[in-house]
Amino acid sequence: MKKLILILSILAAPFFANAETDYTITSSDDGFAAQTSEVQPDRNYSRSYDFGRVWVGQRRYTDFVLQAGRFPLQVRGLSINGRFFGGDTNCPSLLFPGQRCIIRASYAPRMSGNHYGQLRLWVANDTMIVHLSGRAWDGRH
C-alpha cells in the first residue's frame, strides 16, 4: 500500500510537460528527485538517482515509468553507462497517449567504493539524463 501511494503521488508531479509533447517519467521508489518542469523543444534535462549503499556482489534496481501524455510520444533511444550500472526497457519506439513503459536501471557493484553512471533517454526532441550513483560496501570500510 505504501508503494502504491508513493507511485500515485509521484505520478501527480510530471517530470516533463509541454503543449506539443507532454509526458511523465517517475521512479518506483522515493530515491528519484521528480520535479515539475515546463519544457521547450530541443532542450536537455538532468536529474539524479542514488542507489544508496549496496553490498559488494548484491544487485539493486529501480524502475522508471515513462508515460505519454495527450499526444503520441516518440522514444528515440536509451543508454545506460557507468561501471557496475546496467538496465533494460520494454519501451517501444512509439507510445500512444496514456501508454506506459518501464525502464529498469540496476547497480551491481563488484568492488567497494563510490560509483557513478548515466541513464540517457531520447524522446521526441528532448534528452533526459539521470545521473546515477551508488556506494558499494564490503563491510570493511
Mean pLDDT for 101-129 is 94
Q: Is the pLDDT of residue 127 over 80?
A: yes
Overall residue count recorded for the chain in this entry: 141
Contact 87, 105 (CB under 8 A): yes
Residue 60: CB partners within 8 Å, gap ≥ 6? 51, 52, 54, 106, 107, 108, 134
For the entire predicted model, the pTM comes to 0.72
Number of CB atoms found within 10 A of residue 64's CB? 25
Q: What is the pLDDT of residues 64-102, one digit of tens each?
A: 999 998 899 999 999 999 999 999 999 999 999 999 999
Q: What pLDDT does 44 receive? A: 64
Q: Is the pLDDT of residue 106 over 80?
A: yes
Q: What is the pLDDT of residues 1-38, one digit of tens each?
A: 334 333 333 333 344 333 355 777 777 664 443 333 33
Residue 9 C-alpha cell reads as: 503521488
Q: What pLDDT does 105 receive? A: 96
CATH class, 2-30+43-137 region? mainly beta
